[in-house]
Amino acid sequence: MMIINPPSKRIHLSVPEFDGKESRYIHEAFQSGQIATSGSFIEKFEDQLEREFGGENIVALNSGTSAIHLGLQLLDVGRGDEVICQSLTFAASANPIVYLGAQPIFVDSESDTWNICPQLLEEVILDRISKGKLPKAIVTVNLFGMPAKMKEIMEVAHRYGIPVLEDAAESVGSRIHHRYCGTFGDIGVFSFNGNKVITTGGGGALVTSNDTWTKRARHLATQAKENHPHYEHSSIGYNYKMNNLAAGIGLAQLGCLKERIAQRRRIFSYYQNALENIAGISFLKELPGYFSNRWLTTVLINPSEAGFDRETLRLSLESRNIESKPIWKPMHLQPVFRQSTYYGGEIAAGFFANGLCLPSSSNLTVQELDRVTECLMLLHQGVFK
Ligand SMILES: *Cc1c(COP(=O)(O)O)cnc(C)c1O
């Protein structure tokens, strides 16, 4: 019997991979009765993260977004303040600015890292100062795992005394030389959401070398409960702590971080080797000394050279049951931020128009990768059906 059009298994953009310890730790947590926001896995996970990322203090939280919200609060961002933010990013980088009653000032990307441009950043700071207001903080992002030019950015920020929150949600394990992303900013943020390089189901962490901020973050994340037998509060707190089950998953995942990154980097290389000679297709390259975790492999399509555009590629992949996603739509083009100030040109907008994230899960097989690359090659040859 002939099978006509066997439905091929869906290839997702980015799914987690487990090594088996996750369920063992969850079982242990249940047996000890510690499934809520106190328990031994939370401390172990934080300790292990601190060892892994060079000894900064780490506070495990229930999401990366919570970590950004708390982080901006520690930087004293409040009503009426201006906060400079990379425009090309996920909305979670910018939303907490608005939670605090402050205004985002969006800035364009540069072509070599896709992240905020240090020169443009300085021009923006000078222009805001000339308009009478020193920005209260800067939110930088290491997009798709690629480090921003953090050294140059920190130099500019220090020159004007503005603190930096480094959104390293996508760049856990990325580094510049030997220094890890998340440790460059005055405050760093990790995400352990289900689609990231390692996961806790849902979770995040705040990174800082400032002990006072670390204590304050722990306090605010646990409803700002004071040390009294009764419930005593002197400030407004949040319910942002990570629970012990999530921390157990995280501890298991962290043990595999290096391997997961190696797998994601191999996927990037596979795509690059297979596709880089096709006219009009280009990849995001590492600068010397830069090491990306390659969370997601992205391609840029130059439609006039390639003979097809980003959306044609996305739909062709979808017709073969392959998930892909356009690059983040820049914040300055989002309806919700249409009133916000923007500095820059069309670089971020161009990445959005022509960029696509390809399936990048660490457990993709060569057969699955070939399903993706074949689709691109057929489009290129103009024989795609
Ligand atoms: C995922 C992500 C976040 C938010 O992290 P959550 O853990 O999902 O809240 C923030 N910023 C960027 C750039 C992200 O990709």
* Alpha carbon of 63 to ligand 1 centroid (Å): 8
- pLDDT at residue 382, as a whole number: 82
Provide mean pLDDT across the span 93-99.
Answer: 98
* Alpha carbon of 261 to ligand 1 centroid (Å): 18
Q: Name the residue of 193, 242, 292, 329 whose CB sits within 8 Å of the most ligand 1 atoms, as the mutation to test its pocket.
A: 193
Q: What is the mean pLDDT of the chain?
A: 95
pLDDT tens-digit readout, 351-379:
999 999 999 999 999 999 999 999 999 99
Q: What is the pTM of this model?
A: 0.96
- pLDDT at residue 36, as a whole number: 86
Give, in degrees to the nearest 5, the angle at Cα 207 between 285 and 153.
Answer: 45
- pLDDT at residue 2, as a whole number: 53
Per-residue DSSP letter, 289? T
* Alpha carbon of 8 to ligand 1 centroid (Å): 31
* Alpha carbon of 381 to ligand 1 centroid (Å): 37
pLDDT tens-digit readout, 60-72:
999 999 999 999 9
The finding on whether 64 has its CB within 6 A of some atom of ligand 1 is: yes
Provide mean pLDDT across the span 308-325.
Answer: 97
* Alpha carbon of 182 to ligand 1 centroid (Å): 13
Q: Whose CA is nearest to atom 2 of ligand 1?
A: 169
The finding on whether 350 has its CB within 6 A of some atom of ligand 1 is: no
Q: What is the DSSP string of 197-249?
A: SS--SS-EEEEES-HHHHHHHHHHHBTT--SSSS---SS---B-BPPHHHHHH
Q: Which residues contact 94 (CB under 8 A, 6 or more apart)?
A: 85, 104, 106, 139, 331, 337
**7 has pLDDT over 70:** no
pLDDT tens-digit readout, 144-188:
999 999 999 999 999 999 999 999 999 999 999 999 999 999 999
Q: Whose CA is nearest to atom 10 of ligand 1?
A: 92
